[in-house]
């Protein structure tokens, strides 16, 4: 168990590198089987999912495409948290087998607000792969098809996830002490 400081807070190891990588291989194997003979389009949501998307995609052995998009929400006096637009969404999803790749589903609001925009393009199918799921915190009904780890409702950093922009470079996932 190691402790790191990110900005002004202490975090301790929660999921080590080997555990994360082993689980990602398992998820990729399941996706390879489920999508055998198909050509899915993975859409990874930036910034947080870049490491997960990269490691997951390395273990995808079927024909597949990968795109990255960024979601932007209004930031007024108080951020509503409502997703209003996506940046980089230039793929035509019509008839495609789409797999959304997320780092973490917390309340579920981000994906829940964004999914209708994707569905509007009439993909053939739409599934969600998330590395982490804070199941106790989830308020919005979402079907999560591939889940790496169900975790408690505690703030985590590392492996792409940030605390105030920092900590994304850590190889392991750390939990607030």
Residues catalogued as catalytic: 106
Phi, psi (deg, nearest 5) at residue 52: -60, -45
Rule CB under 6 A: is residue 110 a binding residue for ligand IMP? Answer: yes
Interface residue with ligand IMP among 43, 105, 126, 131 (CB under 6 A) is 105
Least Å distance between CB 48 and ligand IMP?
5
Neighbour-count burial for 74-107, b at 16+ CB within 10 Å, e otherwise: eeeeeeeeebeebeebeeebeebbbbbbbbbbbe
Question: Distance of alpha carbon 79 from its chain centroid, rounded?
Answer: 21
Candidates 13-21, 30-38, 102-110, 121-129 — which segment interacts with ligand IMP by CB under 6 A?
A: 102-110
H helix or E strand, kind and range, residue 58:
helix 50-58
Number of residues that bind ligand IMP (CB under 6 A): 14
Rule CB under 6 A: is residue 109 a binding residue for ligand IMP? Answer: yes
Q: Do residues 62 and 112 lie in contact, with contact meaning Cβ atoms separated by under 8 Å?
A: no
Rule CB under 6 A: is residue 108 a binding residue for ligand IMP? Answer: yes
Query: Closer to ligand IMP at the Cβ: 74 or 124?
Result: 74
State the residues that interact with ligand IMP by CB under 6 A: 48, 102-110, 155-157, 161
């Amino acid at each position: 168990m190691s402790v790191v400081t990110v900005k002004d807070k202490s975090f301790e190891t929660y999921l080590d590198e080997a555990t994360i990588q082993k689980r990602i291989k398992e998820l990729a194997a399941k996706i390879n089987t489920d999508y055998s003979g198909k050509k899915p389009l993975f859409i990874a949501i930036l910034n947080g999912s870049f490491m997960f998307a990269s490691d997951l995609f390395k273990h995808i052995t079927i024909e597949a495409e990968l795109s990255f998009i960024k979601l932007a929400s209004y930031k007024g006096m108080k951020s509503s948290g409502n997703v209003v637009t996506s940046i980089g969404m230039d793929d035509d999803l019509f008839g495609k087998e789409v797999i959304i790749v997320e780092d973490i589903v917390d309340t579920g609001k981000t994906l829940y607000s964004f999914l209708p925009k994707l569905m509007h393009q009439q993909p053939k199918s739409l599934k969600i792969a998330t590395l982490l799921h804070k199941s106790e915190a989830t308020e919005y009904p979402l079907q999560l098809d591939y889940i790496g780890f169900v975790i408690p409702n505690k703030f985590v950093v590392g492996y792409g996830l940030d605390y105030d922009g920092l900590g994304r470079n850590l190889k392991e996932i750390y939990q607030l002490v």
